[in-house]
Amino acid sequence: MAKPPVEILQGTLDMLILKAVSLGPLHGYGILLRIQQISNEALQIPQGSLYPALYRLEHGGFITSEWGESENNRRSKFYELTAAGRKHLTEETAYWGRLTEAIGDVLKARPSEG
């Protein structure tokens, strides 16, 4: 069962894109679809947010692009993770793991008995 869509937190889009691209080369729209798919439709990235993020990641050296042909025979830019992108994704994943664990601990807190 699909979860209702949720807002993407500030600063998470780059990490989500890097993760999607780490699973294999994709064109821009394919990245949107992959994020939707692996989030069970809970995350939907607006195209207007995706392309500036791809530009930022490419210029930061985290992804590279190459022109190719999409599955519907259209000329598309395909993105791949670089070694720097893999390292950055590993660091970001570890950070988010620590952050979500800490938030989870706070949310599990119960009133003390006194």
Residue spans per domain, the chain: 13-108
Instruction: State the DSSP string of 31-65.
Output: HHHHHHHHTTT-----HHHHHHHHHHHHHTTSEEE
40 confidence band (pLDDT: 50, 70, 90): very high
CATH architecture, domain defined by 13-108: Orthogonal Bundle (1.10)
Query: pTM here?
Result: 0.86
46 confidence band (pLDDT: 50, 70, 90): confident
